[in-house]
Amino acid sequence: MIHGLPSMKSIKSLKSLVKRKTNAQEVSKSGWKMKPFLALMCTALLIFWYKTTNIQFEQTEIEETDYPFDMAKESEAVNDKLKGLPRGIIQSRSDLELKPLWSRGSLRSKGVEMTNRNLLAIPVGLKQKGNVDALVKKFLPANFTIVLFHYDGNMDKWWDLEWSSKSIHIVAQNQTKWWFAKRFLHPDVVSIYDYIFLWDEDLGVENFNPERYLKIVKSVGLEISQPALDHNSTEIHHKITLRSKTKKFHRRVYINRGHKRCSNTSSDPPCTGFVEGMAPVFSKAAWLCTWNLIQNDLVHGWGMDMKLGYCAQGDRTKNVGIVDSEYILHQGIQTLGESVPEKKV
């Protein structure tokens, strides 16, 4: 070994030290490069969290205005199975309004007030698609919630209609509207709607305006009603439903011949207090009663119209009526059950 010169061991140690410093500097530089990216990610997450929380808060406020009932009092009367829930959290009612995933507000038309909500529910089959489209379009300007009961199972073929994605679709093969109504229009689910239109699919609405109709219904206090039938309708089973060209509405009919006589003293249907099953319109209170009147095994609803007067919320001769100025055409087209041959007994 030559004195004064560094040893091989010290040279290797020096090289190792320089290498470690270089690596540390490179790591430090890469860390500084990552910091802006991490800061951006954190900022984006904070914005997302804030917007999500804000939307949820706004939605909660909207729902609180939707249900003006005293939920606290209702919570006190719940059964024992719900007593484990915190006080004030119980909400016993719902609705059929579609909720947006992220956007604010609702899927209803912008600029339309959310008061005076109404519901149109129709059993539909694909063969009546054109007529249903025309019918629904009459109700959309009035901001109705639309529910379609698909009794033929062909729901997917309705998506091409512009309003279809904003409607509720329920499918059950070969079931009638009373079956659907009993299971899907429970009073606690439709409690935010002032009027429920439970109509058939084969109705012509060229001479009908839902807003003018409801204005008349409210002004004369009709709890259960229907639009009058045009004289050109295919099927008119009861004279009381026939349109009077000289009246805005009527509550009774006069018949002086035949086995059924109707006069001013008549108090039973179909002389008075009567609407037919193809196009009934119920107030919220009347539907609460009617839903309980519908038997669980009811299929076609024959004879149901004779009993609706029990739900008139008072005198059926005054609270049940036919609106003449807004009338419909009953086409009498039967499509439900066509594919199932009738068995002869």
Looking up residue 255, the CATH number of its domain turns out to be 3.90.550
What is this structure's pTM? 0.74
290 part of a folded domain: yes
Instruction: Find the Cα–Cα–Cα–Cα dihedral 334, 141, 103, 195, rounded to 10°.
Output: -70
61 part of a folded domain: yes
Q: How many distinct structural domains can be found in the chain?
A: 1
142 part of a folded domain: yes
The residue range of the domain holding 123 is 48-65+114-330
78 part of a folded domain: no
305 part of a folded domain: yes
pLDDT at 28: 54
* Segment 293-305, tens digit of pLDDT: 999 888 877 788 8
* Segment 59-108, tens digit of pLDDT: 555 555 555 444 434 434 557 787 778 777 777 778 888 877 766 555 55
pLDDT at 96: 81
Is the pLDDT reported for residue 288 higher than 50?
yes
89 part of a folded domain: no
Closest CA to 131 of 235, 198, 197, 204: 204
Is the pLDDT reported for residue 112 higher than 60?
no
56 part of a folded domain: yes
242 part of a folded domain: yes
